[in-house]
Amino acid sequence: TFSYGTAGFRADGSTMAPAVCRAGIVAALRSLKLGGAAVGLVITASHNPVADNGVKIVDADGGMMSQAWEPFSDALANAPTPDALLQLVLQFAKDEGITLGGGHSAQVLLARDTRPTGEYLLHVAVKGISTIVGSVALDMGILTTPQLHWMVRNKNRGLKASEADYFTQIAESFRHLLELTPDDKGIDDLNEKLIVDGANGIGGLKLEQIKSNLARLDILVRNSGKEGEGILNERCGADFVQKEKVLPLGFGPNDVGVRCASFDGDADRLVYFHVTSPSKTSVDLVDGDKILSLFVLFIREQLDIINGEDNKGLLPTRFGVVQTAYANGASTEFLKNLGLEVVFTSTGVKYLHKKALEYDIGVYFEANGHGTVLFNDEFVSRLESLTARLSEAAGSPQHQAASRLVAASQLINQAVGDAISGMLLVEAVLQHKRWSFQNWCDLYTDLPSKQLKVKVKDRTSIVTTDAERKVCQPSGLQELIDKEVVNYSHGRCFVRPSGTEDVVRVYAEASTVEAAESLAKSVAQHVERILGFC
């Protein structure tokens, strides 16, 4: 049974064809529903093993497909016979007021990552799309997932939308941000050096293509995705580094002291790390929470220059931060101490992104490194006219700060989290602040945490509330969790059913590693007992 879940349909690549074909039908219908606007379809299974594959639909605004269409997508993917499939499509088209065979023609942009089953599955998707009469499928080639999101968004806004345009935009806005670095004295060789773990996926290949156009950065790509260098996501990539907190393959003692970054297989996640000592394989990790905190400090600094600290100046701004329950408690405390509005949503980018859109500037990140900074359209218009007005005083602190925000809004992907553009914003901010990796790492100290997975008979019998931080069903479980938590200093613990695996996830935090482990274990035992271990 296929379920659209948090990240589209995913399974062993050799079993994906029916779901991919049907996702093609959904994508074409979605385009028709939106008056023929371009939508996207990407063949990827992100950080999953190389044998897996998946399919995800990109909505016309460049974001994730509307959640309202997920039940239909599930039903279609699981339709048992061709006739059942046809009936589902006809009924859905009727309910949604979609005219088949008239008016608009559907437009679907397709892309895939580097997986061996990708090419075949892309053809299957095209077949699905072409069942909807008059639809047009445009194969954009092998791309990172965020590149496709960016293209869909730009195309529907009448903006340049090719891959070359994407590269030009990020390289130019990056250069522009660097030119706006205060007292620009250049940087030393060590700080120019950056080693990127490309997870043997598409992100490394794209970075190789663009790196010579990136000013003041000396980038070395490892696990680059080139033939023979290694297997996709195997002991490398952002998911591996964040979860295991050890060096990815290809990194070692010679890298001590150098700033390193890691992408996942389709380059929509980013984490940073440092090799701590020549004799250890453990790393100092900078996860999504700390990337978010760095961006927040930078944006806040620019807003304070423009508005003064009371936010009553030239550009009053609603600035908000969105996290999930997995955000390290130390990061949330750090952000709240800055006086920021921090809100929580359920796990999954589709929830975070939607919430972040409610602000003039909304920053969201999952701890695993997926996130971005969203600048609201109306705010960007205000910002651009302010920058134009201030240009009479070009070079003034306010003009420079406004120009930095304009450049940041052009650099960081507005459609979805993007490892390449996110990494360039990190690099620009570190140079702006003249910060080393260590300065960044020292922003706050992560509370020790532990995650466990519990296999139970039916994970859906857990129902949560309060952005998944409290259990409301089965009754009594939350009380048991609360009773455990009070025994631990800085204790925090929650459980939720995973949206991508058949497990219940347990997350615990406490003031020591041992305490976090013990809290997670006790709560996992309650979950097993109440839900039935399987």
| Residue numbers belonging to the annotated binding site | 46, 264, 266, 268, 366-368, 496-500, 505
Beta bridge partners of 55: 9, 43
Give which of ligand GN1, Mg ion, none residue 268 binds (C-beta under 5 to 8 Å, depending on kind): Mg ion
- Interacting residues with ligand GN1 between 502 and 521 (CB under 6 A): 505
Q: Which residues of 250-287 are buried (b: 16+ CB within 10 A; e: fewer)?
A: bbeeebeebbbbbbbbbbbbbbbbbbeeeeeeebebbb
Residue 449 interacting with Mg ion (CB under 5 A): no
Tell me, by CB under 6 A, how many residues bind ligand GN1: 13
Q: Which of 69, 273, 326, 359 binds ligand GN1 (CB under 6 A)?
A: 326
**Residue 347 within binding range of ligand GN1, rule CB under 6 A:** yes
Q: Please check whether residue 417 is in contact with residue 370, taking contact to mean a CB–CB distance below 8 angstroms.
A: yes
Rounded to the nearest whole angstrom, what is the least distance from the CB of residue 296 to ligand GN1 in the complex? 20
Question: Counting contacts by CB under 6 A, is residue 131 touching ligand GN1?
Answer: no
Beta strands (DSSP E) in 419-499 are 449-454, 463-465, 470-473, 492-497
Q: Which is nearer to ligand GN1, 348 or 362 (CB)?
A: 348
DSSP class of residue 172 equals H
Q: What is the DSSP string of 119-169?
A: HHHHHHHHHHHHTSTT-EEEEEEE--HHHHHHHHHHHHTT---SHHHHHHH
Given candidates 85, 325, 349, 416, which one binds ligand GN1 under the rule CB under 6 A?
Answer: 349
Written as one letter, the residue type at 448 is P
Instruction: Please confirm, yes or no, whether 449 is among the known catalytic residues.
Output: no
The Cα 380–Cα 109 span in angstroms is 27
Rounded to 5°, angle at Cα 357 from 356 and 361 = 70
Q: Which of 52, 113, 268, 289 binds Mg ion (CB under 5 A)?
A: 268
Instruction: Answer yes or no whether residue 500 interacts with ligand GN1 by CB under 6 A.
Output: yes
Tokens found for residue 408: 């940041």
Known binding site for substrate: residues? 366-368, 496-500, 505
Choices 192-200, 257-265, 318-326, 518-526; region in contact with Mg ion by CB under 5 A: 257-265
Residues 289-318 that bind ligand GN1 (CB under 6 A): none
d(CA 110, CA 124): 11
Identity at 196, one-letter amino acid code: V
Among 21-29, 153-161, 493-501, 524-532, the segment contacting ligand GN1 (CB under 6 A): 493-501
The residues pairing with 286 across neighbouring beta strands, listed in sequence order, are 272
Q: Which of 3, 14, 46, 224 is catalytic?
A: 46
Q: How far is the CB of 242 from ligand GN1 (least distance, A)?
A: 8
Query: Site for ligand GN1 (CB under 6 A): which residue of 501, 502, 529, 533?
Result: 501
Q: Which of 61, 255, 264, 366 binds Mg ion (CB under 5 A)?
A: 264
Shorter beta-carbon distance to Mg ion: residue 197 or 266: 266
Choosing from 436, 499, 521, 525, the residue that interacts with ligand GN1 (CB under 6 A) is 499
Query: Judged by CB under 5 A, how many residues of this single chain contact Mg ion?
Result: 4
Bridge-based pairing of strands 319-323 and 361-365 is: parallel
Which CB contacts under 8 angstroms, 24+ apart, belong to 381-386?
Answer: 382/315, 383/315, 383/409, 386/306, 386/314, 386/315
Q: Near Mg ion by CB under 5 A, which window of 31-39, 170-178, 219-227, 268-276? A: 268-276
Q: Could you say whether residue 255 binds Mg ion (CB under 5 A)?
A: no
Rounded to whole angstroms, the Cα distance separating 348 from 341 reads 20
User: At its nearest, how many Å lie between ligand GN1 and the CB of residue 288?
Assistant: 9
Q: Minimum distance between the CB of residue 352 and ligand GN1, rounded to whole angstroms? A: 9
Q: Which helix (H) or strand (E) holds 96?
A: helix 82-96
In angstroms, rounded to a whole number, what is the distance separating the alpha carbons of residues 222 and 177?
26
Binding residues for Mg(2+), as ranges, are 46, 264, 266, 268
Residues near ligand GN1 (CB under 6 A):
6-7, 326, 347-349, 366, 368, 498-501, 505
Residues near Mg ion (CB under 5 A):
46, 264, 266, 268
Active site residues: 46
